[in-house]
Structure 1
């Protein structure tokens, strides 16, 4: 009997537990979510609802047809700027019929998205709950909620109202006892309602606002007006400036004011305080990338702005019009479904969906487990406004970029402040809401870094970035001292300036890290990326390139050095030719010159063929042509007009030919001739006699692998796969290149170092795939801003440039630095001009042979070597000797001479 009673008690207990934890017996309920989108496929809300739902109780998923989503594009489908109530209602029904897989009479269960006044009225009339994620997010909006007198019964507002942001700004002025302020705002009354409300609250707290309204015309005129306002601020000696810019994305007023303030050197003055108020809460002008590009990170003044999410948790990309609340909307809806089912028995049985009951469930949602993006989520049961939230006051300037200096907490007992409420005049009430980080009355800024413990830095052994230090005899290096290189010097300097300690560890398999098997999930990465994802290291440094694939799973700092991809090849050997002096002209050109010279000889011979005073015989014509070509001249010159005209043309031809040859020869004779050099990726792809390699898992490998079909790079990738060209690191690639007949495609900085250090290698081709090496870190790392600022300082001071010179230029061991296919000038040697001597010797030998042959011929033909001399008398009584045409004078032993 006792056992039976215990069993019954156990059954009752299990039943109670199941009831408390939400075990629900239900049938399917039609649930249709209307998502507002500016354009089709442009809503981040759709991505949130398409993802697997985070439901507090798994039984809830069985009770709703989810996800059942209808996309309501505000301009194309609903046409909110122009359509009236009737058209908007009919278009909502049309969207339901076309998109929702549900009954026609079910209708929309809830609408999620930015606030639009005319849509809000329609949804209120149709009793459809409206979850507002943001205000004034798109290019147009009817009116801001700050001045709204309508009691919105169907609305739940995820983003804190702007009136509370204004109240938080006023509390800062009250706390710091600032009595006056300059306010800069747009002129259009429809667009400066938030600014006017802030001015009103300041007046009520006895703070004197000096307002400047600017009318937007064009960028240049707006910039000029901003400069005039800031000049007046300096003349009035005002130190507090509030820049209030609704729709910052449209006006860029905040950006213009900050740019002009920098020119006026107001950002370098610590006495100034700027308060940035952007009702869209986007704060585009204060994003990290903009601060770096515009040099605002050097600001010494205060750049205050409130945010309703902490920057250290800001891993969700802000999108104008949706705000950060869009990331929490799906969680709010799922919790509301749970409350709806547990509180209503009819809902569990699949009865008609009650929007009123679901609206109550929405307002009952409380999420305080720290899993939301915007902190505590809680709503006023009457108005549906967000309560109990926290605003974070950040200083975006100064040496500690993005520093949280205070927290403003909304009192969840009172809901949203109304205009009719009495203003707070007691500073004690302000201190209950606003608190600065203080120790002994000194503000201590909670920064977004740096490290309190010894952090691990994962690296890849890669010359000259990280290398094992050579140990002198009797010296043993350990720990970080075991390494040297560009990266080691850089991390030493960063750790010294940011005051932290680190420990160097080597990357698994000495790899940079790439997705395995084509997968991009966190478990598929190795190398540096995998070490960071597995939290084995905090930083990853070295020659790791910033790529979109890697940045999808980890974060990177700003670029440290720029790089690209080029080719490392075996340095071509010099080819010597004794006839190098012939290389200035091609063989075809030499043949053309010789042919032209012989052609001129023939024409000379024809022109002088029947002349009585014939000069251009075959022998003399050849001598004249060659003498002119070699610019030596001849013993005679043409006399006929036709011959002189021909000579003039031929001399001009010779002048140009000789001048061209002389100029080209000066270059060709002072260069090295290289054997079949490779200058580009195209030439490498056509060379089947060269093996191609690259590093496995590197950004270069991914680039070649994903190159389009039938491209040079796809052909190279096929060659790599065919030759088993995927290797572990650049050291192996350099060794293979040094062995000959190999090419290594990889980082241009590493290849450049190899060329200077290892003289058998040569870096060629212009770099492609221009990228930057960065410092890898976990996604959403809190220290990213300070690390980026430090890198910028090191760049501006020239430290990084000095490191590049130290590890690239100063480590050169090769005298010859080949930078292109044509080598640099070299000194003359006999091997360069041997052909000239050979030609000269050939001419000398030919003349001697001809002379000897002729003499022998004369001796053989003549029987009497001394023929008689026949003399003839001239009219003047003198005598002339006639005999052979050629006369030889022989000397005798008696001193007499004989003439032959």
Structure 2
């Protein structure tokens, strides 16, 4: 019994200690030992290793493990598997492939016995067989291998358990072309395709499907990379024109390499076939890249803007007007990375038990459950066997005035061509023609609620979603929408955060959930590495928001115009002048400037009261003139300063700079969590910023958004370091707070978008127009200057008048009361002092004084004596 209690005690102590270990929160809660799973990703490469470097870079950039996934998985280890040199794919069986994979793993630093958790690359049958046996996930990015093909995925109809396919099946894309022929009742066509059987398997499947639908097809094979390719194409087009064949199918599965579509267009232009309105060219490129139609430069190069023929192609990658579209390999690699990331997230989310072993079967299941609405290759969903489903193909025109006009939409779901191919309800605004290939049909804009950029307003629920918001960003978005003609939908970023790589607004754009990220999002190097940004919309910086200090009044505020030293100098000067008067008058027989009279004369002059007599000697008059001038200047100066001091509030000490904030230990500070400002302070190299970051950590100063920071500032003893524009708006809206310090970290607010976004140039041009026309400046005035409720800035703002109160002049009343009290006190003292003297003694002294005056025969004395002795007649 004692042993069991001791055992439980040690467990409790162990749990308590583990709670105090700093790194315990970073441990994986899904494993029994708390350690992270090892993750090995193998990339298939061709002989010359030309693709794997770029593909590895894409994966390393887009496979980012954060949150709980980052705690449970180590950073992926990438292997390079050359299909011929390492695996012997074209000569060996799947047993040799397995051994070759193990040898390549050991040679690239993988621990013995470690096998890949995921293989990414094109489809190889022998490799699929080996991975099926080993239970390893196989993320297929193309239907067939690089150069050598044993059997492409087009011909292979096996339901593999470990395969997850990124590309839409080529057979289904071919079915879209067949449905186009069926719906329009086209019964004949000419097909041009590559000559090598290993390059035209998709084309052979298309030809087979067309023949099954009773389409009379004339197929031609062309060695696209041979010297006589142009001559062969000329002969094919000459025959088509002579036979009046209106429908020409150009099938080029590897057109990025063969350039078959480009060669056909050049020869068709020579035959004047591009000017025939009833001539149809149907292009089939399973990669949906269609290099000759990638951008306006290519269109002008081939003269396609003036083409009157119908240049049609089904695409799952939206065409780009400015030519910035990514290659098919790059798009598939990005989607593979995103599927891998989401699959790992799903793996951890669905894991209920705690185990130290990684389950390949559950990982394959997690990959198949991934759903991505805005992938680079379209909507991504998988069925139980790992094949793409739920995607749509759009039929576009690629020439003439209707360039990039979407004329139909095809979906695999349906039992008939009319149901699968929708040629009705496709709305195209003529004003949008140049932009149809640039913007999605619905532009999703992610924002952060931040005054005054984006603010919510109370409206009826019957209105559209975008009308629920207002602010600078909403007005800017409306201007862009009006100029570029697109429809948009606004939604708030998760947790209302800006984000850095995979979180907040940046994460929404990077994951494809949002088309644009707009608001007070600063352009930083970290964000620029994750997504693209437009030109700067507004310039901003970082400053400090603090609470207004309380007003401080003193009852002796009337003494403030002069310093204590000056008051002492004035008093000393008066005393010195009094002494000089006394000395100058001391030798005279008729002394008027006694010590008492001299002091009273100086005080009277200083208070501009005047005296009962004036000095008569020249020396005293010169001294009086000089002292009077001194008093005049002193009083005038005091009056001027007094007016300023009484009409200006005396504010307590406050923060004025980042240096003063770092040195003030009585006030805490903070900023928004996971913001660009936080990253700047946390990585600051200057001592002042290091100290500020330490203060933020010590005082738990990080807040979730600027509204929370503003509230903490209003409560006092807190300084909020954040965006200058946001702080300026807060200062004008709340009179109890103010923005201080010169802005630092000067940056630009921009519009975030996915890397390589085709509409980036168009947005930049419109932003420049808005700046040149003064629209942006007008919007800034509307949402900052016109919304200001408080005039608290010193300089350009007018000061409000201060009404006098008792607090301004209380000291004067106290001083006056002090004078009255002293006068009454002296009077009472003298009165009671005289009463206390003996009456007889007073009478004897007066009689003696009168006798002396009579003896001296002084006229003045006689006069005074007569007043006492001779009564005044009535």
TM-score (norm 1): 0.47
Between structures 1 and 2, the one with greater helix share: 2
TM-score (norm 2): 0.49
